Amino acid sequence: MNRLLLTLLMGYLLLGCKETLTEEPAIRRLVNETPYEVVVEVFGSDERFTYELSPFDSLDINGVCVSGVEDYCDLGWVTSLNNATITFEGERVQEFEGLPDDPEQKAVNADPRGVGFGYVRTFEEIDGIEVDVYTYRITQEDYDNAEIIQ
């Protein structure tokens, strides 16, 4: 009898403590601040996302960020995929494998909700709703530091 009572009590407590997930609209914004055509590819073992940006242009990738039991953003790709490249007019390429240990270093493949990695969080009001905007800027310094494609 005590075992049954204990089992019922534990079940009640587990169900009563169930946390809900909250979804909020968000935007991942890729900004090309260079005079070069840029191709951004983010990929893992079974997924690949490709985005093309004209010189001095930007691209908004709409999605949601989820809070609660899990915290993550689905803004084009979910969480951090292992690899990414930024190719500048087929001349130079910046490669990302995993995430750097130092969040001060840039990594376009990072989950923008994480700390740093080149993403800056701002807010914009869209249709009366405050939306998180996570901006990643592709700069002349990125081009200068990218490897020349042979």
pLDDT tens string, the chain, 150 residues long: the values are 555 544 544 554 444 445 678 889 999 999 999 999 999 999 987 889 999 999 999 999 999 988 888 778 888 887 667 899 999 999 999 999 988 889 899 999 988 876 689 999 999 998 999 999 999 999 999 999 999 998
Distance CA 85, CA 63 (A): 22
Angstrom distance (rounded) from CA 42 to CA 80: 9
The predicted pLDDT at position 13 comes to 46
Close Cβ partners of 66 (under 8 Å, ≥ 6 residues apart): 21, 22, 23, 72, 73, 74
Dist CA 42 CA 50 (whole Å): 7
Angle, CA of 119, 121 and 122, to the nearest 5°: 140
Closest-CA residue to 119 (of 84, 89, 145, 147): 84
Q: Output the pTM of the full model.
A: 0.83
* C-alpha distances in Å from residue 37, one per residue of 4, 76, 90, 141: 67, 20, 9, 15
